[in-house]
A = this chain, B = another copy of it.
Amino acid sequence: MFRRVAIAGMGLIGGSLGLALRGRRLAGEVVGIVRRPATAVEAVSAGAADDAGLDPALVSGADLLVLAAPILACETLLADLAPHLSPGCLVTDVGSTKERLMRTLPPLLPPGCDFVGGHPMAGSEKGGVAAARADLFEGAVWVLTRGPQTPDEAVARLAQLTRALGATPVEMEPHLHDDAVARISHLPHIVAAALAEAAGDGSVPADVLRLLVAGGFRTTTRIAASSPEMWRDICLTNRDAALAALSDCESALARFRSALEAADSDGLLAAFQRGKAVRDSLLPPE
């Protein structure tokens, strides 16, 4: 499907993409562009790339470049790689927020290269190429975003690739995407961290908590184990939407507080019912 795919950033997403492209023979060759020599060795020995290194010139000859670096690093990274891009190269990213990158990345491209934004809705609280899996994208939605200059053909080509990876491409406005992920991804990460922090404030000894910790805490705080750096950067690129979502969550908690303070049985029931109604409407029972 592609002659030479360059993946800049070989973490969980970049590494999984490399494994999947090679495993499904969707690329003639896959090269990884990384920041540390050890990651290059790790990526190649894991089978995530045919070749990997630190040199931006590795991108030469690629007909697809995927930016899979931490979100705030993508701008500098693309500026470094752009001079080495071959004409006609399709460029995409996998960033968790889209509005900012759709503003900043396309102007960095040389003429003749097209940009399509991307966000595979797949991940894990574990990071790094060691956690990469060839099947990470199977069954996932892969959001695609276009700018005013993006030709239909570039979107269609990337959509075809995501389908070949087992994902479902969905084109969406960057702003709508960012509002939605603020509520179904960024806010949950903030809340999971706050919930874990509230358990660990010292009012109950850690050994007692460790003994009693059960399913509720385990699942609710699972994503609090994610990379703090990654989630800081994602939230910083989506501040307005994250703050709006956080406000709604704070209001919902304030209603729980009022009901608890007043021992208001009906109010407390209604609060739990509202949460259950949304959860049940968005996801089938597990």
Contacts and interface: CB of A to CB of B under 8 A. Distances in A.
B252 A197 contact: yes
A212 B191 CA distance: 19
Contacts of A184: 199, 209, 212-214, 216-217
Contact of A213 (B218, B229, B272, B282): B282
B252 A122 contact: no
A184 to B, nearest CB: 4
B246 A256 contact: yes
Contacts of A236: 263, 265, 268
A183 interface: yes
Contacts of A103: none
Given A176-B204, A188-B221, A246-B256, A279 B196 contact: yes
A160 B235 CA distance: 50
Q: In this complex, which of A140, A198, A225 has the most chain B Cβ atoms within 10 angstroms of its Cβ?
A: A198
A73 to B, nearest CB: 14
Given A224-B279, A246-B260, A217 B185 contact: yes
A187 B198 contact: yes
Nearest to A285: B225
A179 B203 contact: yes
Contacts of A231: 272
Nearest to A183: B199
Interface stretch (A48-56, A105-113, A237-245): A237-245
Contacts of A187: 195, 198-199
A235 to B, nearest CB: 6
Nearest to A119: B212
Interface of A is mostly: helix
Count class of interface residues, chain A? 35 or more
27 contacts: A124-B215, A141-B211, A180-B204, A180-B208, A180-B212, A183-B198, A183-B203, A184-B209, A187-B195, A188-B221, A191-B194, A197-B252, A198-B248, A206-B281, A217-B282, A218-B286, A220-B222, A222-B286, A225-B276, A225-B280, A226-B272, A228-B269, A235-B268, A239-B260, A246-B253, A249-B253, A250-B250
Q: Report the 8 A-B pairs with minimum CB-CB distance, sorted nearest first.
A: A193-B275, A200-B278, A228-B272, A194-B252, A198-B248, A198-B249, A224-B279, A188-B220
Interface of A: 121-126, 140-141, 143, 170, 172, 176-177, 179-181, 183-185, 187-201, 203-204, 206, 208-226, 228-229, 231-232, 235-236, 239, 242-246, 248-253, 256-257, 260-261, 263, 265, 268-269, 271-283, 285-286
Given A218-B283, A225-B285, 7 more contacts: A191-B253, A194-B275, A200-B274, A213-B282, A225-B286, A243-B261, A246-B257
